[in-house]
Amino acid sequence: MKREFVPQSPACKSLIRCLYRSAIGLLTGLALVNCAGHISSHQVVAPSTTHSAAMSDGVTEPVTDGSPRRMRLITSDQYLNTLAYVFGNDIRPDTHFAPLQRTDGLLENGAASAGVTAGQLEQYQRIAAVVAARVVDHEHRDILISCKPASEIAADRACAAMFLAEAGRLLYRHPLSAAKVNEVAENATMAGDHLNDFYAGLGIALEGMLIDAEMLFVADMSEPDPKHPGHQRLDAYSLASRLSYFLWNTAPDDALLTAAEKGDLESDKGRARVVDTMLASPRLVAGMRAFFDDMLGFDDFGILSKDATIYPSFADATAADAREQTLRTVVDHLITKRKDYRDLFTTRDTFMSPALAAIYRVPAASSTWTPYEFPADSPRAGLLTQISFLSLHAHPGRSSPTRRGKALRERLLCQTVPTPPANVDFSLINDPKSTYHTARERLTIHRENPVCAGCHKITDPMGLGLENFDGAGQYRAAEMGTLIDAAGSLDGKEFTDAAGLGQALHDHPALTSCLVKRLYSYGTGGAASSDDQPILRYFDTRFVEEGYRLPDLLRTIALSTAFSAVADSHTPPTRAMKAAAELSPRVVAAK
């Protein structure tokens, strides 16, 4: 049976409360350092050469100040992925955190303005307690802890310091200072002495580290850029973190931190070698799954529901597999086969599971995922005709050309559809006795209403192209006995069916520029601004030259000066900083 330590003594409980208050206080400390724009105190090897702005093919990267200095909360997946890397997959707890606020199309952008409430910190503490207890239990301690204590029934400061320094380097994404190692080792020593148990004391110290602000927040630490006097760049460890969260959706591994320590990230050749290694790693799959899951808004699958009386074949397993199908398609097309990004919206290649076969009305080849190609005469072509997009952007009991058109505009073209007015009359559309048989007929009401026409004219003409698919994504030729007309247009390009819509989207210039914008903001940790337009145009140009291949675009962004540059400005505190400050009694004392 696994041993999980539950503190009982008053001394132990007092220590845990002390560690908990310390973690809250550290949230403030990190926020204030970020606010003041202080330079990192990490030990960084002096740079040899900086990354050149000149790229291949004669195209030159425009001069830019880079992104603002940010402090952002790591996402729940990033937190859990880090725990899995440091301690093993069997240590990774199965839990979920409150979602971030979607900003400029991405949840990841919301991390730059997210704080930690007392309730959320308690959730982190509960997870930390479980993880720490597993690390030091009899099943894992000999594997995960590299040293042996002199006695298991007494504190061993030297062994505790060794383990906590090793783990802390990976958890905090930089080597711990001597003072920090001394602090966490002292926590382990105090707890071990009180409990007469080395491993229990070590677990308590580790628990405190897992709710430390340096674990929960990624703070951009900068240093002077020797190539551009008066300008700032990310220090080596901050750049390692930015690269790792961008490409892998987790904290830097040992090799990446070692590269930062050696100064490899501060030379053109060294940084290129590191980035190429990261792009060749299997972890790139997990990183890009996370990005596209965010970009496509698949977090909404958590609240997706369908009317079981109307769509009896659509179950929870269907929704989960619909999400997985699209992500598998994306990874296979863009990473495994290195194909043109635009072709995602016209390809007939995908994967099939038994749960999805019932919705697609195709034979289930096996009990697991298998490659599948829709035949040439199939109405299915591209991501827009997959169950994920069709079901996610529809009502529980019917389709929605407006929702689908809006999602196409906002998710894939980075265009904003205005919020509908509060006094819209839906009675004629929702009336079951209406004489309007198809969605096209019903939506004519809104397109002819001056109050509604502005929005519906930019959503419905393309959303109607998907009307051959009902609210669950099943194909249908007619609605209420009337044949469906799936003709439409996308910004002047007309089509007659869903496949034509996919081709129109394939050819739309905003499709690729939207991906570029989303990737750059995702990688730099915040929404793009008007100042980013020159660098975004440069990335667009390179993307075209590279044949719209995702790995090449990732490399271009990761190796750009803009990716590592830090705007030398003191921006107002974000909500994350304010929330951290409000949590801490230290701020009150300072006032």
Classify 220 as helix, strand or coil: coil
Is 404:465 a contact under the CB 8 Å cutoff? no
Range scoring the smallest mean pLDDT among 290-304, 373-387, 453-467:
453-467
Task: Confirm whether 452 is domain-assigned.
Answer: yes
pLDDT higher than threshold 80 for residue 40: no
Strand extents, DSSP E, 288-394: 349-352, 370-373
- Range in 59-63, 354-358, 365-369 the model is least confident about: 365-369
Q: Region 385-391: what's the mean pLDDT? A: 98
Query: Is the confidence at residue 22, as pLDDT, over 50?
Result: no
**Per-residue tokens: 561:** 């000066």
Question: Which position has the higher pLDDT, 245 or 67?
Answer: 245
Check residue 569 and give its pLDDT.
53
In this prediction, residue 12 carries a pLDDT of: 43
Tell me, yes or no, whether 54 lies in a domain: no
Residue 380 belongs to some domain of the structure: yes
The answer to whether residue 86 is domain-embedded is no
Predicted local confidence at residue 447, as pLDDT? 57
Label residue 204 by pLDDT band (50, 70, 90). Answer: very high
Residue that wins the pLDDT comparison between 107 and 24: 107
Q: What pLDDT score does 448 carry?
A: 57
Q: pLDDT: is 169 or 16 the higher one?
A: 169
CA 296 to chain centre: 11
Q: Which pLDDT belongs to residue 435?
A: 60
Q: What is the pLDDT of residue 262?
A: 97
* Global confidence as pTM: 0.86
Q: Band of the pLDDT at 572, cuts 50, 70, 90? A: very low
- Inside any domain, residue 312: yes
pLDDT at residue 276 tops 60: yes
Tell me the mean pLDDT in the region 119-140.
93
| Structural domain for 433, as ranges | 291-507
Query: What pLDDT, on the 0 to 100 scale, is given for residue 441?
Result: 67
Q: Which of 70-84, 335-349, 362-376 has the lowest mean pLDDT?
A: 362-376
| Tally of domains within the chain | 1
Q: pLDDT category, 586, cuts 50, 70, 90?
A: very low
Contacts of 557 (CB under 8 A, 6+ apart): 246, 519, 520, 523, 539, 563
| High-pLDDT (> 70) share of the chain, % | 80
Query: Does 283 map to a domain?
Result: no
Of 274, 155, 186, 213, the residue nearest 564 (C-alpha): 274
- Highest mean pLDDT out of 66-80, 186-200, 555-569: 186-200
* b/e code 353-381 from CB counts within 10 Å (16+ = b): bbbbbbbbeeeeeeeebeebebeeeebbb
Q: What is the mean pLDDT of the chain?
A: 85
Residue-wise pLDDT for 468-492, tens only, equals 999 999 999 998 889 999 999 999 9
Does any domain span residue 349?
yes
Question: Does residue 567 lie within any of the structural domains?
Answer: no
Secondary structure of 41-78 as H, E, C letters: CCCCCCCCCCCCCECHHHCECCCCCCEECCEEECCHHH
